Amino acid sequence: MSSTAAAAPRTPDAELPRVAARGVPDAAGFAALLEAGEPVVIRGAFEHWPALSAGRASPAAMNAYLKSLDNGVPAPVIEARPSTRGHFTYLPDLGDFNFAQRERRISDALDHIERLIGDAAAPFIAIQSLPLPVHLPGFLAANPAPLVAPHVAPRIWIGGRVRTQTHHDPDHNLACVLAGRRRFLLFPPEQVSNLYIGPIDQRYPPPLSLVDPDAPDFERFPRFRRAIGTARVAFLEPGDALFIPRYWWHHVTSLESYNVLVNYWWGNEARGLENPHDCFLTALLALRELPEHERGYWREMFEAHVFRRDNDAATHIPAARRGLLAELSPATRARLRQQLKLTYLKY
């Protein structure tokens, strides 16, 4: 925080537009949601889950249900000091995070989390992004998710009143609340420059925003005013799910002393030459240090031929002669992929 100005209070949730809510879509309706690329709350998507019944009953019932599925495989458990107030983020020098991980049996971690309920001076313990097929394999058969493909493996998130700093996922995300309540503050993908994202070198945890949206320092982060002007908020109760399209930024607050969420990530299946993140890293290597006039050329080339969908930059070329500037057919994509592979083999 700037030493010359106190942090401003966050925009009241009442002033933020709510994420649209709807009932459970059929397969075609869910495909349309993916195509639209907008977040949406889905109510009643997993009312048939025994896990939801346990979560609605009590923390003890939820923990008992999860422990009955525990196969004993140790897993990383996050621990943060009480001074963090449950806000998982960077240390001041951005060299590390303000939490640690240690290996524990899941049942032991669940017992620890339950014992800390109501203890205001307790550290913050959380199980985050735990792959259920590895640690609680019986969960999948007992709690099926028809909205996502069978090969998409769920993960579980368990803890108290914690806040996960603004970040995005490279996959679509379906987040399903089983116990407690959660607040999601969402920002569109194009707000990346206004969110003051930290180092991009690591994949997990993903790069985080440096701005605390609950107490933004507008003197230090003035562009965040633009970001908050685009924000939406969603409040999820047990039984609610939130669909978050890939690249949408989200800040997540667990609102109760005990919270459980299961999520599904899918859609980021491109690899190598066709993976956007890898292409971005290649562009950093190839373009960033070029002279400004040369970067200007490539900026226009990307805008004209990659980011514009109307293809008007190539309409002066006869359709039969547009080559790679035409719509890429599967055969053309395969030839281009092979050509690039052969090029890279030279280096």
Taking only the tens place, the pLDDT of each residue in 16-26 is: 999 999 999 99
Comparing 323 with 79, the larger pLDDT belongs to: 79
Question: Mapping DSSP to helix (H, G, I), strand (E, B) and coil, where does residue 137 land?
Answer: coil
From 227, 245, 266, give the residue that closes a domain: 266
- Whether residue 197 lies inside any domain: the answer is yes
Highest mean pLDDT among 165-179, 200-214, 257-271: 165-179
CA distance 7 to 216: 5
Residue 97 phi/psi, 5° resolution? -110, 165
| Two tokens, residue 128 | 């985050």
Long-range contacts formed by 332-338: CB under 8 A, 24+ apart: 337/273, 337/274
- Whether residue 3 lies inside any domain: the answer is no
Q: 1 pLDDT exceeds 60?
A: no
- Whether residue 1 lies inside any domain: the answer is no
- Whether residue 37 lies inside any domain: the answer is yes
Contact 347, 285 (CB under 8 A): no
Mean pLDDT, residues 60-77 taken together: 97
Residues 200 and 290 in one domain: no
CA nearest neighbour of 102 among 129, 131, 77: 77
**Structure confidence at residue 321 (pLDDT):** 87
CA distance 52 to 236: 13
Residues 195 and 287 in one domain: no
Residues 107 and 211 in one domain: yes
pLDDT per residue over 236-271, tens digit each? 999 999 999 999 999 999 999 999 999 999 987 777
CA nearest neighbour of 169 among 254, 277, 75, 271: 277
**Structure confidence at residue 219 (pLDDT):** 96
From 237, 266, 295, give the residue that closes a domain: 266
Residues 87 and 106 in one domain: yes
Please enumerate in sequence order all residues whose Cβ is within 8 A of that of 154, keeping only pairs 6 or more positions apart, or say none: 132, 139, 140, 145, 262, 263, 264
Residues 179 and 257 in one domain: yes
- Whether residue 243 lies inside any domain: the answer is yes
CA distance 152 to 308: 32
Residues 318 and 252 in one domain: no
Please state whether the predicted TM-score (pTM) of the whole model is above 0.85: yes
**Structure confidence at residue 4 (pLDDT):** 39
- Residue 244 bridge partners (DSSP): 173
Residues 94 and 180 in one domain: yes
User: Which residue type does 215 have?
Assistant: A
CA distance 53 to 51: 5
Residue 251 phi/psi, 5° resolution? -110, 130
Task: Name residue, tokens 């963090």.
Answer: 84
Residues 287 and 325 in one domain: yes
| Buried/exposed code over 183-214 (b: 16+ C-beta within 10 A; e: otherwise) | bbbbbbeebbebbbbbeeeeeebebbbbbbbe
| Buried/exposed code over 291-316 (b: 16+ C-beta within 10 A; e: otherwise) | eeeeeeeeeeeeeeeeeeeeeeebee
Q: 5 pLDDT exceeds 50?
A: no
Among 2-16, 24-38, 56-70, 259-273, where is mean pLDDT lowest? 2-16
CA distance 206 to 107: 27
Residue 315 phi/psi, 5° resolution? -70, -15
Residues 223 and 283 in one domain: no
Specify the number of domains making up the chain. 2
From 266, 282, 298, give the residue that closes a domain: 266
Domain of residue 221, CATH code = 2.60.120.650
Residues 64 and 162 in one domain: yes
Residues 84 and 212 in one domain: yes
Among 4-8, 27-31, 256-260, where is mean pLDDT lowest? 4-8
Contact 227, 195 (CB under 8 A): yes
- Whether residue 6 lies inside any domain: the answer is no
Residues 222 and 281 in one domain: no
Within 13 A of 287's CA, how many CA atoms are on the CB side? 16
| Two tokens, residue 243 | 């669909």
Expressed as residue numbers, the domain containing 129 is 13-266
